[in-house]
Amino acid sequence: MVLRLPLPSPFFTSERVMTSIDTLEAFLAELDRIERRAADLVPAASTATDVEAARIALVGRESGALTALAESLGSLPREDRREAGQRFNAVRVAIEAALEAAWAGLSSARTTAVADPTMPSRPFWRGARHPVSIVLDEIEGIFRELGFTIALGPEAEHEWYNFGALNFPADHPAMDLHDTLYLGEGTLLRTHTSPVQVRTLQAYPPPVRVLAPGNVYRRDFFDATHAPAFAQLEGLAVDEDISFADLKATLTWFARRFYGQGTRTRFGPSYFPFTEPSAQMEVEVDLGDGRGARWLEILGCGLVHPAVLEAAGLDSTRWSGWAFGMGPARLAMSRYGINDIRLLYDSDVRFLEQFDAC
Ligand code: PHE
């Protein structure tokens, strides 16, 4: 531990003995002076800093007055050394005992000052989960009950997993430099979590049911409804005889668990290269902004395109599946009535502690 000592302190004067001490008389005079100095310093030390400063000034290993004096023992005439040594030791022991007592006095003063040691301590801020993490945990919990497990994939991804394996045509606008952050050498920051579909199907033989949460990146402006980096949650189920009915039933069940039993859902047509047919799901929610219930699109979904199954090495005549991708930030905003996505990135404790103060 480094103790920083306030400099203008009477306790902070390290006095090295500069004059050479080579007679018993001079030795004993100096010993006497140190003893008197200790008698001044130690009883006056009322704080830990003072006691420590007194200890350093008197017996400190580098510059303590006693330490310096000990060095001159060797310069005394032989016949005087024994007496000098004995007197020196007696003073050293007494000073160390006085310092010990000063320390003990400090700590007992501290304990007696506390009126009631069983009083609860002052409350302190221990942190909280981010609203998006709360929502992600909850969604994962709902799907876990249905036998889904968590799968993760890299954020720096190969173009092939992000686009090629997902059946994007070579001239798809999403692949434009305008929308995608390329890293060079065939890699990019993944623009969605769908590449985890392919990685999962390559690694595990069906039947599979996975959820893949993670961050994705797009060249977007940072405004009230867009962020250039945001969380996504991918879902994938592949088995024999999976149909659009499985997709609708599962996602509707999820929406009711998340937003409440009576929640209505509807599916509208959409397009993604990696699903066929593709849909978007909307839920009817009241955002609590006084405008009443309205339809909110929360995810894109569809049946896994046979080309994706084949890219992952599966026989698309035997296996089929469904997938979805949603933005947990949007769900968190609808759940908590947050109207500006930037609040989720500001790390303002006053905002964040409203959601999950532990
Ligand atoms: N990856 C799509 C997106 O980012 C969402 C999606 C995932 C759609 C899975 C269908 C199936 O918009």
The domain spans of the chain are 2-9+19-112, 131-352
- Residue located nearest, by CA, to atom 7 of ligand 1: 325
Whether the CB of 192 sits within 6 Å of ligand 1: yes
- Distance from Cα 76 to the centre of ligand 1, integer Å: 90
Instruction: Determine the Cα–Cα distance for residues 120 and 123; give it in Å rounded to an integer.
Output: 8
Q: In what order do the strands lie in the sheet with 156-158?
A: 156-158, 187-189, 182-184
Which pairs from 184-189 meet CB under 8 Å and 24+ separation? 186/158, 186/159, 186/160, 187/156, 187/157, 187/158, 187/159, 188/156, 188/157, 188/159, 188/162, 189/155, 189/156, 189/157, 189/216, 189/217
The string of pLDDT tens digits covering residues 196-218 is 999 999 999 999 999 999 999 99
- Distance from Cα 135 to the centre of ligand 1, integer Å: 19
Query: And the tokens for 89?
Result: 């030791």
- Distance from Cα 300 to the centre of ligand 1, integer Å: 5
- Residue located nearest, by CA, to atom 9 of ligand 1: 324
Q: Which residues of the chain have pLDDT under 70?
A: 1-19, 107, 109-116, 125, 177-178, 357-358
- Distance from Cα 56 to the centre of ligand 1, integer Å: 69
Residue 348 β-bridge partners: none
- Distance from Cα 347 to the centre of ligand 1, integer Å: 28
Rounded to 10°, the helix 65-72/78-113 angle is 170
The string of pLDDT tens digits covering residues 144-154 is 999 999 999 99
Instruction: Determine the Cα–Cα distance for residues 94 and 31; give it in Å rounded to an integer.
Output: 12
**Nearest Cα residue to 31 out of 13, 17, 52:** 17
Cβ contact 222:180 at 8 Å = no
Instruction: Flag whether the pTM goes above 0.85.
Output: no
How far CA 252 is from CA of 155, 265, 269, in Å, comes to 29, 6, 16
- Distance from Cα 194 to the centre of ligand 1, integer Å: 6
Backbone phi and psi for residue 20, each to the nearest 5 degrees, phi listed first: -80, 135
3-state helix, strand, coil in the chain (%, to 5): 45, 20, 35
Those residues with Cβ within 8 angstroms of residue 112's Cβ, 6 or more apart along the chain or in another chain: none
Instruction: Determine the Cα–Cα distance for residues 285 and 334; give it in Å rounded to an integer.
Output: 8
How far CA 115 is from CA of 47, 110, 112, 124, in Å, comes to 20, 10, 7, 21
Whether the CB of 190 sits within 6 Å of ligand 1: no
CATH fold label, 131-352: BirA Bifunctional Protein; domain 2 (3.30.930)
- Residue located nearest, by CA, to atom 4 of ligand 1: 192
Dihedral sign of CA atoms 27, 31, 32, 33 in order: positive
Whether the CB of 230 sits within 6 Å of ligand 1: no
Query: And the tokens for 353?
Result: 């502690």
Instruction: Determine the Cα–Cα distance for residues 5 and 44; give it in Å rounded to an integer.
Output: 16
- Residue located nearest, by CA, to atom 10 of ligand 1: 301
Does residue 195 have a cis peptide bond before it, meaning omega lies within 30 degrees of 0? no
